[in-house]
Amino acid sequence: MNFMKFFFKQVVLVNGFVCKDPKVVKADDFSLSGLDMPGDTGNKLGFNVTPANVNQIPGLNTLGISMVRIDYVPKGLHPPHTHPLATEILTVVEGQLFVGFVTSNGEDGNRLFTKMLKKGDVFVFPQGLIHFQFNPGYTNTVAIGALSSQNPGTITIADAVFGSNPLISDDVLAKAFHVDKKTVDWLQAQF
């Protein structure tokens, strides 16, 4: 619904969400439970993202921010990805985390910035840059992140490049990654 209208008796865009009668808006429209519960990390990469964005909290619509809980098993990886329309700021609540991002092209470009984070550390991943998080430890890691969009979107590089539907032609990928098509086909087979 148009919560801004509700807040400020102001009419603002509703971003396509169905509008709700202000008279029936309730506190729960601004709330969500369960960010204290580990997510399901039973996957190849050993990580899980529990979102708290406009899809879970309708009251976030038009407000330009959202939150996530991220769980990592030992050696769990949130693989290289970008958020096309958001910057992320993250703090480690439990465990340890090795994080990094790569700057864009250009003279002195594609620089990798990494840091080993311990409990209580905060790190920033600037909008649109490729970044990753890896748990190098022997215990689970939990992080709380925030993103500068009510619905930031994520592009996981490996999935988008080697696992798209349909697949990107191996002519293109072989040339892009300086390998032969067999290697590309084999890489694509992993997805």
Q: Between 48 and 161, whose beta carbon lies closer to a second copy?
A: 161
Rg (CA), the chain: 19
Q: Is 178 annotated as a binding residue?
A: no
Q: Is 159 in the site for a second copy (CB under 8 A)?
A: yes
Q: Is 85 in the site for a second copy (CB under 8 A)?
A: yes
Question: Least Å distance between CB 20 and a second copy?
Answer: 12
Return the residue of 139, 164, 182, 185 that touches a second copy, per CB under 8 A: 164
- Whether cis (ω within 30° of 0) applies to the bond prior to 166 is yes
C-beta separation of 84 from 155 below 8 A = yes
Q: How far apart are CA 32 and CA 50, in angstroms?
A: 11
Q: Is 171 in the site for a second copy (CB under 8 A)?
A: yes
C-beta separation of 162 from 190 below 8 A = yes
How many C-beta atoms lie closer than 10 Å to residue 89's C-beta? Answer: 13
Write each residue from 29 to 48 as x if it is in contact with a second copy (CB under 8 A), else as -, in one continuous string. Answer: -xxxxxxxx------xx---
Could you list the residues known to form a binding site for Mn(2+), using ranges.
81, 83, 88, 131
